[in-house]
Chains A and B, each alone.
Chain A
């Protein structure tokens, strides 16, 4: 039994998608409050088909627990109640720092890719 090239590439891609997901979630929340499905829509290109949207909820729960995001059920004028997530000031600080680190990381990685 061995891995085909396609498997290896799929595996690499899945891992980097998973790796950047927490940062991507914070980045989307940084644009403004959003509910779970809205977040999934914004992240479709990042998630790809390999990562189920349900995995966003443990991530959101972790952000809430760590004080980086707050969540509140909001009843809208039309439509059902939705749980809306928003970054806290601590979450905004993390986003700023993560963005700076991502920029440096991306630049360094770029030097390695032919």
Chain B
């Protein structure tokens, strides 16, 4: 049997329909090859259990509630894909999905997002400096302080000169690479809950 829709028993089909509607709902915002792969595998797992003589409700109960393991699994697959491809689209998707999996995911994604923002800023500054050296750079101000920013004021000294753009590009590329690899391989784990609790008083 390839699909749960092939199940002949109407009751079992209804149980599967309910379960995989939940799976689809959880995977919907994660429409990707990774999500399709996960769905196909879960479906085959449940169908194998059914073929082995397990009832439909028991097969799905053994598999577990999809909301307990699916979001983290898909987020991890997307992070791994982003680390391998290094494509901005994949990274953005992995950031968004990881942020939606819980507090830990949100914190990790926010920190990574902040890092990417810095990398983007370095890139923009590098390009601006190429076009107009006075528009962005590292300047020493007349009072001796050093400023990294946009717009050279009268009296400021451009510290790196023509080297600023290559340095900015190298910083942007390095940061992008390090963040993507680190984000791709980080293991986001939820804090474990305590077991069942009984009110005895």
Residues in A lying within 8 Å of B, measured CB to CB: 1-4, 7, 10-11, 14, 35-38, 40-41, 52-55, 57-58, 61-62, 65, 80-83
Q: Which B65-80 residues sit within 8 Å CB-CB of chain A? A: 65-66, 68-70, 72-73, 76-77, 80
Return the contact of B63 from the options A2, A7, A52 (Cβ within 8 A).
A52
Interface residues on B, range: 35 or more
- Mask of B1-13 contacts with A, CB within 8 angstroms, 1/0: 1100000000000
Q: Are A58 and B195 in contact (CB under 8 A)?
A: no
A4 surroundings in chain B (CB, below 8 A): 198, 200
| CA of A108 to CA of B199, assembled, Å | 37
Q: How far is the CB of B200 from chain A (nearest CB, A)?
A: 6
In chain A, what residue has the closest Cβ to B77? A61
Return the contact of B64 from the options A2, A3, A52, A65 (Cβ within 8 A).
A52
B14 surroundings in chain A (CB, below 8 A): none
Q: Are A52 and B62 in contact (CB under 8 A)?
A: yes
Q: Which B1-56 residues sit within 8 Å CB-CB of chain A? A: 1-2, 37-38, 40-42, 44-45, 47-49, 52
| CA of A40 to CA of B47, assembled, Å | 13
- Mask of B169-201 contacts with A, CB within 8 angstroms, 1/0: 000000000000000010100000011111111
A52 surroundings in chain B (CB, below 8 A): 62-65, 68-69
Return the contact of B48 from the options A1, A37, A54 (Cβ within 8 A).
A37
Q: Are B44 and A58 in contact (CB under 8 A)?
A: no
B44 surroundings in chain A (CB, below 8 A): 35-37, 80-83
Q: How far is the CB of A77 from chain B (nearest CB, A)?
A: 14
Return the contact of B185 from the options A3, A11, A14, A65 (Cβ within 8 A).
A65
Return the contact of A61 from the options B64, B73, B198, B200 (Cβ within 8 A).
B73
Q: Are A10 and B195 in contact (CB under 8 A)?
A: yes
Nearest 7 A-B pairs (CB), nearest first?
A52-B64, A11-B195, A54-B64, A37-B48, A80-B2, A54-B69, A37-B45
B77 surroundings in chain A (CB, below 8 A): 61
B201 surroundings in chain A (CB, below 8 A): 1-2
A38 surroundings in chain B (CB, below 8 A): 48
Q: Pick 16 A–B contacts, CB within 8 A, sort by A.
A: A1-B200, A2-B201, A3-B195, A36-B41, A38-B48, A40-B62, A52-B69, A53-B45, A54-B66, A54-B68, A57-B38, A57-B41, A62-B76, A80-B2, A81-B40, A83-B41
Return the contact of B47 from the options A54, A62, A80, A83 (Cβ within 8 A).
A80
Q: A40-B62, A80-B44 are in contact. Are A58 and B72 (CB under 8 A)?
A: yes
